[in-house]
Amino acid sequence: MRLVSVSLLALAVAACSSTPPIETGPVVTEVQLLALNDLHGRLEAPEEAVSVTMADGSVATVPAGGAAMLAGALKQYRTGASMTVAAGDLIGATPLASALFLDEPTIEALDLMGLEYSALGNHEFDKGVPELLRIQNGGCDQFTDRAPCALDGSFDGADFTYMAANVFLPDGTNLLPDAFVKDFGAVQVGVIGLPLVDVPGLVAPNLVDGLVFTDEAEAANALVPRLIAEGADTIVLLIHQGARGVERWDDKGCAGLSGDVLPIVEKLDPAISVVVSGHTHFSYTCTLPMAGGEGERLLTSAGRYGAFFTDIRLEFVGEELVAKRADNVVVQGEAFVGRDGETIAPDPRLPLFNPDPAVEALVARTVGAAREQMDLVVGRLSGPAPDHPDDYESPVANLIADAQLASTRAQGRGGADIAFINGGGVRAALVPGVNGHLTFEQIFTVQPFGNTLMTMTLSGAQLKALLEQQFMTAEGETREYHLIPSGNFAFAYDMTRPAGDRVVWMRLDGEDVDPSRDYRVTANNFIAAGGDGYTVFKQGRDVTGGGNDLDALVAWLADGRAVPAVGRITDLTPRR
């Protein structure tokens, strides 16, 4: 019996040794992208109220934003195979707490958040290329009116990498890196970053002199073969251009989606599976068909000011991307009281977050250092001066134009007859506090750019040509984007008239503008150098500088002002 047992055991062992090994399937990998855009240095909670449609159809309005809460939310959501990216305008047009320190605290906060790659936005160019490179590389060399390294005595630069695939120096080299491949072990993901080609029209043109901005889609597509050769299994594009018009940010059907990023997306190589966008301040997560029926592509944007981040998941089987999805997550913040007196509070049905302690301490230290200047009462106003959501004429825009005329009217200051402010240069409403008091922080929020006022001579004919540029792009396409005048000037327009002849009349001090007469015209240096497409300003003669735009507004409000009425611009377009 014992021999039989041994024989049977030997047979069993032989049988086991001939059994083929169990085959395992390809490795399944999920890669996460955490995406931001258009933070604009909002270190403190911006008191943004976000409406969220719940599963039962009800709508909750919750507070959102704040750098510490955003950092905490990213930490809570981050997986083991994650990359944090951004689509630009992280700095520039920032609140006073960040701007006083040249946005160095915002860069430090983004480092603490774990940001790795970001496209350049247009506002990263606001202070010129040398300052942009200092922000990336660090150091205390001074390139602006404000002293760098004022908060900590030193500045190490960004730990993350700004990218500019379509921005070239005169010698043909990139201003900043164009693309990278991120290794996740089983898979590799390519990343391309670029600003919109229209940057030279969105900043003072002298700030980008010598730089060449090329077509976004062409620049991105040209990098695809290199990234694939370097092992990329799919490619993500970070681009500071965006869409708008979505009826609801939380509707993935993206009803009403439009905007300048869409033609770019349609031209992209199929290897680019995800586009993280920005610029428009809209929030959306859309699935769009690729041209030629070659699959679908994600298009995302996380709104503005850190009120959202986008959680993007890419699923790979082996090296093949088989699924992708994206969700915008509201960064619920602290409760606040809205303008109508209602309390905007977090909703427990949505994710709740704890602020990141390191970022919270950084924000407190920064705001504390800036507080004395922020709280200084520097002016008075008779009541609220609203802004216009589409950058048309508004009480606050009229107030700024009047301040700029007053600042440059004296012969020694420019001898101005008229002043204009571009609608996009007005960043907020002015809402005075007790006794009509306005703080420096409030006024800075309205005019954060630190532009210089320039006064020049234009003929009446040139003045009309300038106003026509409100209604036509350089490519001859129709647009409507207003120049708001000082109170002594008025004009009317009709959009049904031919391009180049839409201005019906112009009047200065109640008299028709004479095409052959010369007028002294004030504008900020951004539009005076051709920004926003107002190239007629560049034809101006006898150009003189007239001080800082913020200083002009502070001086105008110092003794108190009434809120100006609207009515300087008359729309005569027939309405059906």
What is the sign, positive or negative, of the torsion defined by CA atoms of 164, 66, 55, 337? negative
CB 540 within 8 A of CB 361: no
């006073």: which residue's tokens? 96
Amino acid at 313: R
Distance between CA atoms of 14 and 19, rounded to whole angstroms? 9
The 3-class secondary structure across 448-463, one letter per residue, is CCCCEEEEEEEEHHHH
Instruction: Provide the whole-model pTM.
Output: 0.81
Number of CB atoms found within 10 A of residue 315's CB:
15
Residue 154 has pLDDT above 90, yes or no: yes
Res. 172: pLDDT tops 50? yes
> Distance between CA atoms of 232 and 576, rounded to whole angstroms?
54
Average pLDDT, the chain: 92
Nearest Cα neighbor of 566 from 355, 373, 393 is 393
* pLDDT bracket for residue 340 (50, 70, 90): confident
Which of 198, 126, 242, 194 lies closest to 474 in space, CA to CA?
A: 198
- The enclosing H or E element of 137 equals helix 129-137
Tens-digit pLDDT profile for residues 8-41: 334 344 444 455 666 677 899 999 999 999 999 9
CATH architecture of 41-367: 4-Layer Sandwich (3.60)
Tokens of 73: 């939310």
Residue 145 has pLDDT above 90, yes or no: no
446, exposed or middle or buried, with CB in 10 Å at 0-12, 13-18, 19+?
A: buried
Q: Distance between CA 545 and CA 162 in Å, rounded?
A: 33
509: which residues sit within 8 A by CB, 6+ positions away? 488
Average pLDDT over residues 372-381: 92
Strand-by-strand arrangement of the 28-36 sheet: 161-163, 117-119, 82-86, 28-36, 308-317, 320-330
Give the whole-angstrom CA distance, residue 288 versus residue 423.
Answer: 32
The residues pairing with 190 across neighbouring beta strands, listed in sequence order, are: 181, 235
Q: How many residues does the chain have?
A: 576
pLDDT at 548: 81
Residue position matching structure tokens 């009709």:
494
Residue range(s) of every CATH 3.90.780.10 domain in the chain = 377-571
Q: Which amino acid is at 502?
A: R
Beta carbons of 489 and 507 less than 8 angstroms apart: yes
**Residues with Cβ within 8 Å of residue 498, at least 6 apart in sequence:** none
Q: What pLDDT sits at residue 89?
A: 96
pLDDT tens string 439-498: 999 999 999 887 888 899 999 999 999 999 999 877 778 888 899 999 999 999 999 999
Whole-number pLDDT of residue 19: 58
The pLDDT value recorded for residue 555 is 93
Tell me the pairing of strands 48-53 and 489-493: unpaired
Chain CA centroid to CA 155, Å: 24
Q: How far apart are CA 201 and CA 22, in angstroms?
A: 63
Q: What percent of the chain has pLDDT over 70?
A: 96
- Whether residue 79 is predicted with pLDDT greater than 60 in this model: the reply is yes
- Residue with tokens 């040139």, as numbered in its chain: 462
Nearest to 418 by CA among 310, 287, 508, 515: 508
Better-predicted residue by pLDDT, 75 or 146: 75
CATH 3.60.21.10 domain span(s) along the chain: 41-367
Phi, psi (degrees; rounded to nearest 5) at 430:
-110, 115
Q: In this structure, how many other beta carbons lie within 10 angstroms of the beta carbon of residue 351? A: 14
Task: Domain 377-571: give its CATH superfamily.
Answer: 5'-Nucleotidase, C-terminal domain (3.90.780.10)
Query: What's the rounded Cα separation, in Å, for the pair 193 and 216?
Result: 10
Radius of gyration (Cα) for the chain, nearest Å? 28
Which amino acid appears at position 240 of this protein? H
Q: Which of 274, 428, 299, 362 is nearest to 70 (CA)?
A: 362
Q: Residue 529 pLDDT > 70, yes or no?
A: yes
